[in-house]
Structures are given as structure tokens and as C-alpha cells.
A and B are shown apart, each in its own frame.
Chain A
């Protein structure tokens, strides 16, 4: 599987040709202009989009993912993880399009955001399905750190800050594991850890 990494990308148009499979990794860790990621998926192609959003310091990160199925048996998935702190904002619009005549497409759209300190998230993961898909689904969750998880970790001797960081690390880490290219996996990990805003490095160090 081919792998491409984008750091704070602006508008990006992608195509995955017939029988190809590609993974597109996006990391956003500062305020950006409205960014639209648009991907066309041809016959028997597989496109995976993985996105990490780190929000801090009143940053505004508006993000749109448009995924169009152009061939039979095309397979697309887009998964977003956002950790938003310090009054940052993330607006996510997802749009999966399966036009008439495209058979047996498979599509999945997922948005999960964790909010801290008066941050805001707005999510619209939309599906427009004009033809029988093999499978099409979407999911979204927005919320704060799970209290039970925090409590458990604190009973094991971690401070509240440490426990929070461990949980957020797991939240990002789940998606890190899906990266197929080992070099890119390391790069994304470094990007996410190097941010003092995430405070991950402090916990792990």
C-alpha cells in the first residue's frame, strides 16, 4: 500500500486509480485556512484517509473531507481524531458520495473529538447514497475524557494530568496503529509527541 504524509496541508485533491490502494495521512497542529481534502476512488481501489487534529491556543481548524466513489467495488474510509484544548475549534464536514450506477462500494466515515478547556467541535459527517452500497456507515463522537478511565488510572498512582495524557495518547494511538508504512508511523508519532501542547512527551519522558 502506498503511503503519503501531509503536515498542515491546504486544499488537496487526490485520486486512487483502478486496483491501487493508498493511505493518506494528515496531521494538523496549527490554525489553518479552510482545508478540503477531496479524494476520487476508482474501480477496485482502496483509499484510506487518517487525520489527526491537535487544537490549542484558540486555533481554528476547519476541515472538509469529500470522498467520491467513481468505480464498482471501490473502498474508502476516512477516520479523524481530534484533541482540542485551550478554546480551539474544529469544524468537520464529511461527505461520502456513491453516485448512481456504482455497484458494491464500501465506505466508512468516522469522526471522534476529545474536548478540553472550552473548546468547540462541529461535525457533519454526511452520506449521499444513490446506489446500493455493499456497506456504508459513519460514526461520530464528541466528548471529554472518560471519567471511569481517569479514575482507574489515578487509583494506579498516576496524577490526574498523567492519567489524562495517557488516555489521550491511547485516543491518538489507536489510529497510529493503522498506519501501514513504518517510516511514516514514526514520523506521525514524532509530530504528535513533539508538540508541547499535547504534553504527551512530558508523560512519556
Chain B
């Protein structure tokens, strides 16, 4: 799938036949920063947002860390990213609204096309949508807010809950963790801030939707989830962007704290158009008997480099990472996960499924690390790759660094091509080749789809089918 060629993308609606979310709306930003990244722009972002002084200083410090760090030399090809050609901040609307009717009309049309209000109608617990850099729509089921659940955009959290914010912000992923976490720290905007009080179980999933509309846009959302003792929550995010001919950059930071006995599931369906660089840092600290589950579906983007991590801090903590990657021609999904066992009696599971179609390339990159004091820890890693075409490519780079002799670590992986016999059987039952391939792929990724809420499972199956169309070489 190639991005649609458009001369004036911001004022027309490009309808890519391949990319279902390839429409774009006219830009009417209230504020748009100049291109490029300078100290002045970082100051400007901070002053437009009316942030406290400590945050401005944090951003400036992050900018200098970003500039001092080299580009990563491993993973995907990052040579096409030009940091000076990107708009770091676009504010589409001058206030965050809570009622759907108040959202500006063109933004509303975009979200209508994406099906956001339908989600609301289905009594989903809360919906937050990020359009370019700012959250424009946020609502939370009343019963939940009565219980003390906080689900707001991160900018609002900084103003409304300054103490809670400062206590946890940038504690899980320090600014200097990597070049892109430093970039995010310098220019972050929007994202979700979730706090679940002690013992509260949020039964319905909280949802957020992220969308890039402006061309050459960078989106740098920052999400912070705190699940207090014994609470549980399922957070779901989806991402799309219109098909522009020039590249966009998405570089998010997601920090999660799972306290004693709490449970967090974080699901991502990433369907950026095929010109978005998706370079995301996600990490969770899990305390005693807590459970963290990452469900990470990567279907879109030009290059994704994303390795959700679990740090198991106290005995009984459990981490689970389910990673699904699908790459078509022109795409490289460099995905995987990290499990770091810091405390004894901790367990982790990583399951990765990747599908390469056409000239697509998928890589699994993972790390299991067991520290000397983490005795009786167990980890199981399984990665399977399916190659659809002769030109598809799949790589696996697992690393296991085990420093305690009282542990059990298992890793297994297979790479296979789509079975001729399976295809033949299905075709003999009257399906055409495309349908048969989709069915086999659906079966292959089923363990991941099973964990999704129904709307997302349906969307995922449909996206997989879209990816498969015309893949027969």
C-alpha cells in the first residue's frame, strides 16, 4: 500500500483505496508552532499551555539530552527522518470539551468517519481523542468519576492534579532513557492520564483515539496510568493518520504503575498510514502480585520500533506481552517486548506473532533479563513468524541475560511460510486464494485477537483482510 499522491493534502480529502483511514480534513489550527526544534519553540509550547516553570525547565533539559544523544544504529532505517522539517506542536481547538456537540465541526466529521461517537453510544467507560497534539474530547462515565477514577488528558492533569502528576511523571521512563523519550519529554502534548483508586475495578475498557491530521506533523503524546492497590483497568488506544506524501513522526511515551495486587491491560491497535515513523517507549513497573498485560497490535506505519516492557519489582508480579506485527510492502515492523525480573518469584510471558506480506519486513527484538536476586523467576517466550510471499522477510533477535541460577527461562520460535496444503484445502472448499490466505492468517493471530474487546477484534480482522488484498504475488 502506497501513500496517495496529493499536491494540496491539507485542503482536500485524499481517498486512498488501500488505506481506509486515509482521509484528511482541512486544517484550522488555533496555534501551530514553526517547523523545526529549537529552545524557542519548546518555550513557546510551554507558554501556550500555561505550564508551571518546573515543566518548562524539564522540557529544556530534555531538549539538550535529545540533542546530545546519537540516533540509534540498530533496528530500522531512520535516515529519512528530518527533525527540522517537522511541526512539533499544532493546537486544533482552543479548549478541551467534554460534550460531543461542542467539538468543532470538521474535527467531528473526522471522528465520525472513525466511529468514535458509536463507541460512546455503546456506553464505553470513557473516550478520549487526540487530534494532532491536543486532546479534544474527553468524557467519563459518571459512576466512575464518582468512585474517584481520573481519566483526563495529560495537560489537564498537570493543571488539576499537580501533586499526583509530579509524583509519578517521568519516574518510569527517565528522560535520558533513549533519544526518542528525550524528544517526547521536550515537546510532549496530550495523551491520557489515568488514576484508578484503591480497590476500584473499571469493568468497561477506557478508550483513547489518536489521529494525525496535519502534514509533516509530529505527535508526541504522553500517557501515564496509575493503578492503585487492588484496582483493575483495561485501556485501549487506536491510531490513524491521513495518507500524505511526506513523512510524519509519532513518538509517544507511556508510563504505567501497577501497584500491589492491581491489574492493568493496555491494548494498542496501531494503524498509522504507511508514511508514519512510529517510535514509542512503553514501560510498566509492576509491584507485588500485580499483573501487567501489554497487547500490542502493529499493522500500520512505515517503520515501527516499539518494545513494551514490564519491570517486575516485587515478589508475585507477573507481566505478559502479546505482540502482533503485520508488515506489507514498504513497511518494517521492529517490535517485541522486554521482561526484566528484579524481584524473586516473578513470572513473565512474551508471545509474538508476525506476518510479512509482499516485501514487508518484520523483526522480533526482545529481552528477558533476570537479576541476581530474582530467584525462582520464570519466563516463557514464544515467537512465530508467517511469511506470505517470496519477498517477505522475518528476523528474530531475542536476548536472554540470566544472572540467577534459580530460574527457568524458555524461548522458542518458528518461521514458516503459508502452507500449500492448507491453501489447497480451503480453495477446494470454494474460497478464492485471497480469502483462504486471510483465513489462515486470522487463525495464526487468533490468540491475540481473542484478548481484544469486540469492536477492536472486528476492526483488526478487517484490517488484516485489507492488508492481504492483492498480496498474492
Instruction: List chain A positions with a Cβ less than 8 A from chain B.
Output: 84, 100, 113, 115-133, 135-144
A115 to B387, CA, bound (A): 36
Q: Report chain B residues within 8 Å CB of A128.
A: 395
Taking the closest CB of chain B, its distance from the CB of A109, in whole angstroms, is 9
The listed residue with most A CB atoms (<10 A of its CB), out of B390, B404, B415, is B415
A136 to B404, CA, bound (A): 30
Q: Please, which residue of chain B has its CB at the minimum distance from the CB of A141?
A: B410
Taking the closest CB of chain B, its distance from the CB of A187, in whole angstroms, is 29
Given A121-B400, A132-B387, A138-B396, CB of A127 within 8 Å of CB of B413: yes
Is there a chain A Cβ closer than 8 Å to B177's Cβ? no
**Is there an interface contact between B398 and A126, defined as CB atoms closer than 8 Å?**
yes
Q: How large is the interface on B (under 10, 10 to 19, 20 to 34, 35 or more residues)?
A: 20 to 34
Q: Report chain B residues within 8 Å CB of A139.
A: 410-413
Given contacts A118-B372, A118-B405, A139-B411, 8 further A-B contacts (CB under 8 A): A122-B399, A124-B399, A125-B398, A129-B387, A133-B416, A138-B396, A142-B409, A143-B410
Q: Please, which residue of chain B has its CB at the minimum distance from the CB of A137?
A: B414
Taking the closest CB of chain A, its distance from the CB of B380, in whole angstroms, is 10
Q: Please, which residue of chain A has its CB at the minimum distance from the CB of B367?
A: A124
**Is there an interface contact between A127 and B411, defined as CB atoms closer than 8 Å?**
no
Mask: chain B, 391-405; 1 = CB below 8 Å from A; 0 = not? 111111111111111
Q: Report chain A residues within 8 Å CB of B57.
A: none
A119 to B372, CA, bound (A): 10
Given A122-B402, A124-B397, A144-B405, CB of A133 within 8 Å of CB of B411: no
| Partner of A125 from B387, B393, B406, B411 at Cβ < 8 Å | B411
**Is there an interface contact between B393 and A130, defined as CB atoms closer than 8 Å?**
yes
**Is there an interface contact between B400 and A142, defined as CB atoms closer than 8 Å?**
yes
The 17 listed contacts between A and B (C-beta, < 8 Å) are A117-B405, A122-B402, A123-B400, A124-B397, A124-B399, A126-B395, A127-B394, A127-B395, A127-B396, A127-B413, A129-B395, A137-B412, A137-B414, A138-B398, A138-B413, A141-B409, A143-B410
**Is there an interface contact between B402 and A121, defined as CB atoms closer than 8 Å?**
yes
The listed residue with most A CB atoms (<10 A of its CB), out of B398, B400, B417, is B400
10 pairs of A and B residues whose beta carbons are closest in the complex: A115-B405, A143-B408, A140-B411, A136-B415, A142-B409, A127-B396, A124-B399, A137-B414, A139-B412, A122-B401
Chain A interface, >50% SS class: strand
Q: Please, which residue of chain A has its CB at the minimum distance from the CB of B394?
A: A129
**Is there an interface contact between A144 and B397, defined as CB atoms closer than 8 Å?**
no
**Is there an interface contact between A137 and B372, defined as CB atoms closer than 8 Å?**
no
Q: Report chain A residues within 8 Å CB of B397.
A: 124, 126
Is there a chain A Cβ closer than 8 Å to B435's Cβ? no
Taking the closest CB of chain B, its distance from the CB of A148, in whole angstroms, is 12
A131 to B394, CA, bound (A): 8
A122 to B369, CA, bound (A): 9
Is there a chain A Cβ closer than 8 Å to B407's Cβ? yes
Q: Report chain B residues within 8 Å CB of A136.
A: 414-416
Q: Report chain B residues within 8 Å CB of A125.
A: 396, 398, 411, 413
**Is there an interface contact between B396 and A140, defined as CB atoms closer than 8 Å?**
no
| Partner of B393 from A120, A129, A135 at Cβ < 8 Å | A129
| Partner of B400 from A116, A122, A137 at Cβ < 8 Å | A122
A130 to B395, CA, bound (A): 8
Which B residues from 355 to 411 make CB contacts under 8 A with A?
A: 372, 385, 387, 390-411
| Partner of B409 from A120, A126, A143 at Cβ < 8 Å | A143
Q: Report chain A residues within 8 Å CB of B387.
A: 129, 132
A116 to B412, CA, bound (A): 23
Q: Report chain A residues within 8 Å CB of B405.
A: 84, 115-119, 144
A129 to B417, CA, bound (A): 11
| Partner of B413 from A118, A123, A137 at Cβ < 8 Å | A137
**Is there an interface contact between B395 and A120, defined as CB atoms closer than 8 Å?**
no
Q: Report chain A residues within 8 Å CB of B394.
A: 127, 129
A142 to B341, CA, bound (A): 14
**Is there an interface contact between A143 and B407, defined as CB atoms closer than 8 Å?**
yes
A159 to B135, CA, bound (A): 66
Q: Please, which residue of chain B has its CB at the minimum distance from the CB of A138?
A: B413
The listed residue with most B CB atoms (<10 A of its CB), out of A116, A120, A138, A142, is A142
Q: Report chain A residues within 8 Å CB of B401.
A: 120, 122
A124 to B390, CA, bound (A): 26
A127 to B312, CA, bound (A): 28
Q: Report chain B residues within 8 Å CB of A127.
A: 394-396, 413, 415
A39 to B198, CA, bound (A): 58
Q: Report chain A residues within 8 Å CB of B404.
A: 115
